[in-house]
Amino acid sequence: FANLPHEIGPESGFLLNANNQPSKPEYPHHLASNWPEPLRALRLGQLLEAKPQHGPDDMNAYQMDSLSMAFIRLKPFLLEAEPASEQGKKVLAQLKDWDGSMARDLAEPVLFSAWAEEIQRALFSDELRRKSPDEPVSLFDAWSGAIKPLQIEAALSGQSAWCDDENTKDHSEDCKEALSRALEEALRRLNRDLGSDMTRWRWGETHKAKFQHGILERLPIPESWVAPSIETDGDGFSLNRGSFSFGNFRHVHGAGLRAVFDLGNPMASRFIIATGQSGNPLSPHYDDLVRLWRDGRSIGLDAQGKMNELVLWPAQ
């Protein structure tokens, strides 16, 4: 037990974790093989360092923070693109002024997410392509379960060979070309899927959390009866986690439970789960917490309990 990662009296005055690796690089023992990027932890550290004291309302706000740290890291590279189309130039201007909030009512999250996916494809799909027909999938498809912002950042830093498309033997692309080509490809995809009117593009239209019923979804029952769906904020790199799979913006991974514990006043602690207390679709409590969960609201629980009195009356 003494060898587990630990820290006593950190200089920062706080300990944090956002699913990131809890140990330092020199830690000698194996804990796991795959850890999410530390971007969400970096964001949490920024919020905690911003002021000396934090209350329950602050903690609730941090849980609902929807700033995409992927965009923050990649923005300097994105602004180097030179779009060929007028639509591309308009998108670049929008993203230049955007703060990175993955809010469901904005178009910018759609633009960034589609562009980031196409950048990843432009950088890595040629080198990680199928080498023979016997391979069931390419290395790129097996690896690209989601956007990889730190790998994209590394590939775009300097004059990287990753930016050159191996499929164009008579031309060597630089990173600016790769970025620009990826933007135009992302726009072709969005125009096809969402229509050509960019004013109607919204993150929430494409980024929805669907809560499927593990048993009833297998029966011939209308999906809307058993699988509540709601538009959500966030992405896989915001504290308010709204992860999606590569090529599909549907919200597939996030917080099932949120809790804010007030250690000075435990009765004031607040909680929320993603759907409802009941697993029965006919119950009013099957999905009555979905909107509260999405909007960052919570409920209190009576931690005191109640006293019950049992009275036994003799028959005679």
Please tell me which residue, 166 or 105, carries the higher pLDDT value: 105
- pTM of the complete model beyond 0.85: yes
Q: What is the pLDDT of residues 141-167, one digit of tens each?
A: 888 889 999 999 999 997 678 898 887
CA distance 73 to 177: 19
Q: Can you give the pLDDT at residue 159? A: 65
Query: What is the mean predicted confidence (pLDDT) over 298-310?
Result: 82
- Per-residue pLDDT of 121-136, as tens digits, reads 999 998 888 777 777 8
Q: What is the predicted pLDDT for the residue at 41?
A: 97
11 CB-near residues (< 8 Å, 6+ apart): none
Q: 58 burial class (0-12, 13-18, 19+ CB within 10 angstroms)?
A: middle
What is the CATH number assigned to the segment(s) 69-206? 1.10.1400.10
Q: Which residue, 256, 209, 252, 255, is CA-closest to 232? A: 209
Q: Where are the domains of the chain?
A: 1-65, 69-206, 208-300
